[in-house]
Amino acid sequence: MIKNISNLGDAALYCDFGNEVNKDINSEVIKFFKAIKEKNIEGINNLTPSYNKLIVSYDLRISNFKKIKEVIENLDINESQKTVNKKLEIPVCCDAVFSLDIERLEKKLNFKKDKILENFFNKEYFCYMTGFIAGMPFLGDLDIDMRAQRLETPRVKVPKGSVGVTEQFANIYTFESPGGWNIIGNTPQDIFDSSKEKEPNLINPGDTVVFKKITLDEYKNYNE
Amino acid sequence: MSKNYFEIIRAGINTTFQDKGRSNLYHIGIPFSGAMDTRNFFLSNKLVGNKIDLPVIEFAYQGPLLKFNGDKISIVVTGDVIFKLKKKNHEIDGNCYESYQLEHGDEIDILSTNKSVYGYLAISGELDIKFQWGSCSINTKAKIGSNKGKKLSDGQKIDISKINSNQSKKKINYLISKIENIRVIKGTNFNYFSEDSKKIFFEKEFTVSKLSDRMGMRLEGSKIENIIDTNIKSEGLLKGVIQVPADGNPIIMLSDHGTIGGYPKIGVVASVDYDRLVQISPGSKIKFKEIKLSDAETLFKLYEMETHNLISQI
């Protein structure tokens, strides 16, 4: 449930679901997000669900904080909200050409590469949110002993398809972008496709992802 | 191929197609984008007799040099911009907010913005460009929008699909207003910062850094000291949000911003000041002034009324 609603600037509502990051709280956020989206409430022009917050943006020409707050507070959240969550398999190649930060991780986590990859692949990940750059999924949770801080100095260019880890999350760079996550591999699969206007994101909040290890040859042949 | 087009002889530094942007896509990581300075975007369309939200050409600092091929067309430049029209036998120094007619072979040379950042070129009619999610706006980071999401480049053509038949001369007297105090509403992490830093934030000047673009404006000045945590759990961002990363230098999110971020939010620029904020050029000083939500709402209404008055004068 929403614990507190405040304003973020003069054109958005900041709905706080608490400080913890877990699937239960995030599922609540996603439920509210979907319910608000379906209702097409006048004035609301954007919604940003994240781990434990939901930001509701509105057009200040049409509405204001008081009006939108009242609507959200009195929203009837239907328990039977239909949620279609997919389970996806994403191929990842961890050849040395792609695993840019594996040596750093070996030092930080005190594991050999093989062990890091074994831990990484042997898991189901839950998509908490998508964003930062278009379509980038934030996937959790990594095992406690797999959690590393982001790079001290972020890269100016992280290659498209890079699969990175930081703290309890894994993510995928949907296109070349600056970024500071520890890169362990690369996927040949397109995660964001702007030509599909209806469904540009392959992975959406609430979906489950498993990574499948592929060789460099399989990677090269993937899109042929 | 359409008969009417511009040939881009020089594209300029950061020339894109923009309209009012795209909404309802934050949740998949796509920001609003759209014309940075909304008021000038509306005015430019109205001054060439268009509906106010048609696509226009936005440029920053140095604009494009375009050669027109086709029938007569009227054009207008808005902002604080220095430009010339090169006709067959003579050259005209152009005035902003005044429409001009171009004939086959004429050129428009947008030399530079004058102590501001963004300017707009509108034509009386419609550009032949692609829309994505209801908007032509080019977001170069995500490679979204018309022109395959890329800036315009030298040698390219800009096709025109339709030219308005009514091209009567239009003009208003307007100067873009400069602003030194940017009004800000306290952010959700305001209390992450030391008492001294909270004071500094609303009292001291900051300098706009060269590392500013359509995504964000970086500021330099007194460091803002975080006393709780230099990271928060990543959450949504909005245009106008002021984040303070670990180095203590504030960054203001602008129209093409990343949709999610993990730095504490010290404040949010009031919507009323956004158009003028984006026009503040690198090297200039700015100061923040705290205002309450209710004042921000009232001031925005007044600003909107003023914009509508300007539009209705045309």
Q: What is the pLDDT of residues A132-159, one digit of tens each?
A: 999 999 999 999 999 999 888 888 899 9
Domain ranges of chain B: 4-163, 182-311
**Structure tokens given for B19:** 């309209």
Fill in the amino acid letter for A142.
L
Query: Testing the interface with B: which of A7, A8, A65 to mutate, by most B Cβ within 10 A?
Result: A8
Residue of A nearest to B304 (CA): A61
Rounded to 5 degrees, what are φ and ψ at B193? -110, 150
Bond prior to A24 in cis (omega within 30° of 0): no
Q: Round to whole Å and give the CA distance between B314 and B305.
A: 15
The pLDDT mean for chain A works out to 94
Q: Round to whole Å and give the CA distance between B59 and B239.
A: 19
For the segment B88-137, what is each residue's pLDDT rounded down to a tens digit? 999 999 999 999 999 999 999 999 999 899 999 999 999 999 999 999 99
**Alpha carbon B264 to chain centroid, angstroms:** 25
Q: Round to whole Å and give the CA distance between A192 and A201.
A: 5
- The three-class DSSP label of residue A65 is helix
* pLDDT of B27 over the 60 cut: yes
Q: Round to whole Å and give the CA distance between B57 and B178.
A: 22
Q: By 3-state DSSP, what share of chain A in percent is helix, strand and coil, each rounded to 5?
A: 25, 30, 45
CATH number of B182-311: 2.40.100.10
User: How close B18 comes to chain A (CA, Å)?
Assistant: 18
Residue of B nearest to A30 (CA): B27
Q: Round to whole Å and give the CA distance between A43 and B88.
A: 50
A contacts of B268 (beta carbons < 8 Å): 8-10
Q: Round to whole Å and give the CA distance between A9 and B182.
A: 13
Q: Which residues fall within 8 angstroms of residue B261, CB to CB, at 6 or more apart? A: A132, B234, B235, B237, B241, B243, B253
Residue of B nearest to A168 (CA): B233
Please state the length of chain A.
224
**Structure tokens given for A169:** 């999350």
Ramachandran quadrant class, B127 (left: phi over 0; alpha: psi -120 to 50; beta: rest): beta
* pLDDT of B2 over the 70 cut: no
User: How close B12 comes to chain A (CA, Å)?
Assistant: 24
* DSSP character at residue A221: H
* pLDDT of A98 over the 60 cut: yes
Please say whether the beta carbons of A206 and A32 come within 8 A.
no
A201 touches chain B (CB under 8 A): yes
pLDDT for A81:
60
Strand residue runs (E) in chain A: 4-7, 12-16, 44-49, 53-58, 87-93, 124-130, 137-140, 155-158, 162-166, 169-172, 177-179, 182-186, 208-214
Q: Which residues fall within 8 angstroms of residue B130, CB to CB, at 6 or more apart? A: B136, B145, B146, B147
Mean pLDDT (whole number) for A50-64: 97
Q: Which residues pair with B8 in a beta bridge?
A: B66
Instruction: Select the residue of A10, A131, A133 nearest B293 (Cβ to Cβ).
Output: A10
Instruction: Select the residue of B24, B185, B297 nearest A45 (Cβ to Cβ).
Output: B24
Question: Taking CB atoms and an 8 Å limit, are A134 and B235 in contact across chains?
Answer: no
* pLDDT of B231 over the 90 cut: no
Residue of A nearest to B144 (CA): A194
B1 pLDDT band, cuts 50/70/90, is very low
Share of chain A above pLDDT 70, in %: 98
Structural domains of chain A, with CATH: 4-82 (3.30.1360.40), 87-220 (2.40.100.10)
